[in-house]
Copies of this chain bind each other. A is one copy, B any other.
Amino acid sequence: MPENVGQYRAAVMEEPGSLKIRSFPIPEKNKDAALLRVSLCGICGTDKHIYKNESKSHYLGLPTKFPIIPGHEIVGTLENLGDNAKRVMGLDSSENIEEGARVVPIVDLRCENCWACRNFPGWPVCEKGETYGWGISSKDPPHLFGGFSESMYLLPNTKLVRVPDDLPDKIAVYAEVLAVGITSFQRVLHPSQLYGEGTPLVGDVVIQGSGPLALAHIIAAKITGANRIIVVGKPKYRTDYLKQKFRVDHVFDVDETTQEERTKQVMDILGGKGADLVIECTGYPEVVEEGLTYVKPFGTYVIAGIYTDLGRSSTINVQRLISGKYATVVGVPGQTALSYRAALKILSKYRAALPFDEIVTHTFPLDQIEKAMDKALSEESMKVAVGS
């Protein structure tokens, strides 16, 4: 690399719609921090919303802190690991963190000092809103606070999970997404499931959406004993993919069916009663009303995809869709720190049974970041990743 000795390149978004490669000086070694040589970084729906200027704010109303280096689905190799960092950056003391180790960073930092960190231990809801990729500006040194970069700077309160040796980067990069699916399922498992046959363990699941987050919930449903999995999504590339590669039971393409038609068909499959669990994985508030229609009496609706505020509302007849059937609605758009490790375990354990190697369908080098974004926006892809 003749051009930038002593520098790291990264893709900076100064404002929505623009992604420029810039170079930043290599940060100095710090006993409390580390560098992460990024191997791969996935493009998330949140990155797309920000790029398209659709995002008003994130959890608790927190803003995108432009300029940013986007990207928060990360796998990489530890460099310049400070002595204190080595001691405290492991997710817990059972993690063996060392220089040269491949790791997935937990992207939501917790200050452990604000009201939200203290009251909701373990959850990604720090009031400071320091999330790699959108919540820490690249304006100030050491700048490298996002995954679309050759190397990231890991702040002292970052936690890390080690990647199993035999798990390739191309699978490990999906851990952050899968962790959302795991968190959703852990939050909704509760004894009310004793009513009916419940979920998991042989309940029916409807997934709204057909992208990588939908897939994360499909995987979680499959490995927890879901009875039937029905996908309502688009476009055909993705619904075909989920049907063929992950063998969901039924797919309905919203481009090819009217809402009335597919509602009837989905409900017929479900014996007219609905599903135990319906999960929103689209990011768009317009789908909530249809999703609630599929919920069985005493069933649960999870809002997992609507992570960023598009400034738009849902229209809901709450009597017919919630109270008149004693339903529950839960918002779980993020993931606990512990769920990242669970995600990596699942990606190792079920690798023979499920085609995890095919989740990343397209990879681009960092300097083709805009091409990568176009491919992600096209939705003619499952997960698009940037890196080498």
Which residues of A are at the interface with B, using a C-beta cutoff of 8 A? 57-61, 87-88, 91-94, 112-123, 125, 127, 182, 185-187, 189-198, 200-202, 220, 223-225, 227, 271, 273, 285, 288, 297-298, 303-304, 306-320, 322-334, 336-339, 341-342, 345-346, 349
Contact = CB atoms under 8 A, between A and B. Distances in A.
A66 B339 CA distance: 39
A325 B320 contact: no
B345 A227 contact: yes
A105 B41 CA distance: 44
Contacts of A195: 119-123
B339 A331 contact: no
B197 A193 contact: no
Contacts of A116: 297
A325 B197 contact: no
A49 B327 CA distance: 22
Contacts of A196: 119-120, 338
A322 B329 contact: yes
A202 B198 CA distance: 19
B120 A91 contact: no
A201 B336 CA distance: 13
A182 B339 CA distance: 24
Contacts of A319: 285, 306-310
Given A125-B297, A187-B191, A189-B193, A331 B325 contact: yes
A93 B115 contact: yes
A371 B318 CA distance: 32
24 contacts: A59-B325, A61-B320, A92-B114, A93-B115, A116-B297, A118-B337, A119-B197, A119-B297, A120-B297, A123-B195, A186-B198, A189-B200, A197-B341, A202-B345, A285-B317, A306-B318, A313-B315, A313-B316, A313-B317, A314-B316, A314-B317, A315-B316, A318-B331, A326-B331
Given A196-B119, A298-B123, A333 B323 contact: yes
Nearest to A310: B319
Given A123-B298, A194-B336, A227-B349, A323 B331 contact: yes
How many copies make up the complex? 4
A195 B334 CA distance: 16
Leading 3 A-B pairs by shortest Cβ distance: A121-B121, A323-B331, A92-B118
Contacts of A345: 197, 202, 227
Given A125-B297, A328-B330, A202 B342 contact: yes
B194 A186 contact: yes
A330 B329 CA distance: 6
Contact of A331 (B115, B182, B322, B336): B322
Given A87-B113, A115-B94, A326-B123, A189 B187 contact: no
Given A201-B224, A313-B315, A194 B122 contact: yes
Given A59-B326, A306-B319, A306-B324, 20 more contacts: A61-B324, A93-B115, A94-B271, A116-B297, A119-B195, A119-B298, A120-B195, A125-B298, A185-B201, A186-B201, A187-B191, A190-B191, A197-B342, A197-B345, A285-B319, A303-B323, A309-B320, A309-B324, A314-B317, A326-B333
Contact of A323 (B194, B307, B342): B307
Contacts of A120: 195-196, 297-298, 326
Contacts of A318: 285, 288, 303, 306, 313-314, 331
A58 to B, nearest CB: 7
A336 to B, nearest CB: 7
Nearest to A327: B331
Contacts of A315: 313-316
